[in-house]
């Protein structure tokens, strides 16, 4: 079984290996023995004790699996947006400028095939900068929207639940 | 000293232990059957932010945008040459450059938007995991397909506008209606 697991893991790319490793590691869940208090004196409240075990197991499961995700989500909120903004801005810059270079190359090749000089460089540059500015503004707006969604969505539900003590 | 009762309270009803045992069995079964899916959802949410996911989403969006503009360009060139336009003329060069710029914008912003949507999706998945943890899983699972389709629809509309705006292209190919129909912009679905 372990050989099969090792073989399967070795066939995966590094990212999938990490995800699969996490998956199998986190699957080590805590079980509750339903018969732990069988035969106990009914005046010692074996039913209550077993209920308490279940509640403890549920809480441990929640703390192990979900609390870290809640922490990460809350930590991602900044005063103006989320911590993902920088990454999104970088990707937007790369996408717009990369597309500009790509298209400039296509245009050059197309003109060369016709034996015509390509004079579109300057106007293309302007168009690229204009698209880049629009793209960066859009990226910031969407990050701000994302923050609002987090504040009024998931985290609000958590707050309500925490306040109600459920 | 009569009575001599113990410190223990009254006897617990037998059914209480039975109910607790039933709950314990349900809990174990839930962990056996569904616990791994919870783990999977958590792993998926963290993997959503991987470079591989961003590259895949942005690459697909850029290709889709390129495809939308491509057919229009082919039709434009064919129409211009069929009508004997000189490719070195200012009119053809300007139109060609303008459409290339529009294509560049469509590809760049389309890819950027797909990257942002990937981030949004990651946050949504994290929110779903939190909801699962809080027992609010009702709205947890939503497909990505409609999100991706919205992006392609948007770039298609933008491409149509770019081609429609080009008045001299309309003259090359005929009427405005002819332009819209003749260019036959690729309507993609994902």
A99 → closest Cβ in B9, B108, B133: B108
Lowest mean pLDDT among A43-57, A73-87, B129-143, B162-176: B162-176
Residues in chain A closer than 8 A to B36 (CB atoms): 23, 27
**HSE-up of residue B60 (Cα within 13 Å, Cβ side):** 17
Q: Distances in Å between the alpha carbon of A60 and those of A22, A108, B28, B130?
A: 18, 63, 14, 15
Please name the residue that has the structure tokens 């050059």: A108
Q: What is the DSSP code string of B72-102?
A: HHHHHHHHHHHTT--TTSHHHHHHHHHHHHH
Does the residue A51 lie in any domain? no
Confidence at residue B24, expressed as pLDDT on a 0 to 100 scale: 93
Reply yes or no on whether the pLDDT at A52 is more than 70: yes
Does the residue A49 lie in any domain? no
Q: Distances in Å between the alpha carbon of A80 and those of A152, B87, B116?
A: 15, 50, 16
Reply yes or no on whether the pLDDT at B149 is more than 60: no
Confidence at residue B115, expressed as pLDDT on a 0 to 100 scale: 95
Reply yes or no on whether the pLDDT at A81 is more than 50: yes
Does the residue A72 lie in any domain? no
Proportion of chain B above pLDDT 90, given as a percent: 31
Asked if A33 has any chain B CB less than 8 Å from its own CB, the reply is yes
Does the residue A70 lie in any domain? no
Q: How many CB pairs under 8 A join A and B?
A: 230
What is the pTM for the complete model shown? 0.69
Asked if B68 has any chain A CB less than 8 Å from its own CB, the reply is no
Q: How confident is the model at residue B178 (pLDDT cuts 50, 70, 90)?
A: very low
Average confidence (pLDDT) over A70-82: 92
Confidence at residue B114, expressed as pLDDT on a 0 to 100 scale: 95
Reply yes or no on whether the pLDDT at B183 is more than 60: no
B146 burial level (CB within 10 Å; 0-12, 13-18, 19+):
exposed
Average confidence (pLDDT) over A146-165: 72
Residue B86 vs residue B120, higher pLDDT: B120
Report the C-alpha gap between A112 and B88 in whole angstroms: 11
Reply yes or no on whether the pLDDT at B45 is more than 80: yes
Q: How confident is the model at residue B184 (pLDDT cuts 50, 70, 90)?
A: very low
Report the C-alpha gap between A70 and B131 in whole angstroms: 10
Does the residue A23 lie in any domain? yes
Report the length, in residues, of chain A.
166
- Helix, strand, coil percentages (3-state) for chain B, rounded to 5, are 80, 0, 20
> What is the tally of structural domains in chain A?
2
Does the residue A3 lie in any domain? yes
Asked if A161 has any chain B CB less than 8 Å from its own CB, the reply is yes
Report the C-alpha gap between B52 and A151 in whole angstroms: 28
Interface of A with B in 87-106 (CB under 8 A): 87-88, 91-92, 95-100, 102-104, 106
Let me know whether A94 and A160 are in one domain.
yes
ipTM of this predicted structure:
0.72
Domain containing residue A128: 82-164
Is-contact B34 B75, C-beta < 8 A?
A: no
Q: Which two tokens stand for residue B138?
A: 């009702």
Is-contact A145 A153, C-beta < 8 A?
A: no
Is-contact B127 A150, C-beta < 8 A?
A: yes
Is-contact A123 B101, C-beta < 8 A?
A: yes
In chain A, whose CA is at the least distance from the CA of B92? A111
Most confident of A105-114, B111-120, B162-171: B111-120
Q: How confident is the model at residue A166 (pLDDT cuts 50, 70, 90)?
A: very low
B35–A29 C-beta distance less than 8 A = yes
Does the residue A107 lie in any domain? yes
Distance of CA A158 to the CA centre of its chain: 18
Q: Report angle CA B15, B16, B17 to the nearest 5 degrees.
A: 90
Q: How confident is the model at residue B107 (pLDDT cuts 50, 70, 90)?
A: very high
Q: Which two tokens stand for residue A131?
A: 């698209």
Please name the residue that has the structure tokens 């933008």: B158
Closest chain A C-alpha to B190 CA, distance in angstroms: 20
């Amino acid at each position: 079984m372990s050989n099969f697991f090792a073989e399967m893991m070795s066939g995966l790319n590094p990212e999938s290996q990490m995800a699969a490793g996490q998956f199998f590691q986190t699957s080590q869940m805590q079980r509750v023995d339903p018969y732990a208090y069988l035969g106990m004196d009914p005046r010692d409240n074996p039913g209550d004790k077993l209920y308490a075990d279940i509640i403890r197991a549920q809480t441990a499961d929640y703390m192990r699996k979900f609390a870290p995700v809640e922490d990460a989500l809350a930590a991602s909120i900044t005063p103006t947006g989320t911590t993902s903004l920088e990454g999104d801005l970088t990707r937007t810059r790369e996408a717009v400028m990369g597309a500009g270079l790509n298209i400039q190359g296509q245009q050059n090749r197309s003109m060369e095939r016709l034996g015509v000089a390509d004079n579109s460089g300057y106007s293309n540059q302007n168009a690229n900068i204009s698209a880049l500015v629009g793209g960066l503004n859009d990226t910031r707006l969407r990050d701000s929207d994302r923050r609002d969604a987090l504040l009024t969505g998931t985290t609000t539900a958590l707050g309500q639940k925490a306040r109600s003590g459920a | 000293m009569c009575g001599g009762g113990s410190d223990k309270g009254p006897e617990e009803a037998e059914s209480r232990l039975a109910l607790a045992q039933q709950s314990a069995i349900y809990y174990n079964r839930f962990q056996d059957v569904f616990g791994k899916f919870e783990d999977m959802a958590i792993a998926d949410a963290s993997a959503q932010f991987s470079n591989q996911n961003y590259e895949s989403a942005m690459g697909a969006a850029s290709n889709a945008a390129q495809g939308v503009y491509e057919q229009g360009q082919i039709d434009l060139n064919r129409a211009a040459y069929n009508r004997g336009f000189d490719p070195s003329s200012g009119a053809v060069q300007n139109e060609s450059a303008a459409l290339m710029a529009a294509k560049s914008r469509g590809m760049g912003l389309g890819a950027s938007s797909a990257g942002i949507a990937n981030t949004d999706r990651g946050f949504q998945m994290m929110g779903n995991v939190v909801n699962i943890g809080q027992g609010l899983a009702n709205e947890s699972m939503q497909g990505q397909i409609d999100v991706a389709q919205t992006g392609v629809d948007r770039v298609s509309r933008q491409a149509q506008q770019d081609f429609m705006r080009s008045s001299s292209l309309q003259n090359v190919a005929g009427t405005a209606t002819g332009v819209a129909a003749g260019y036959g912009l690729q309507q993609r679905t994902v």
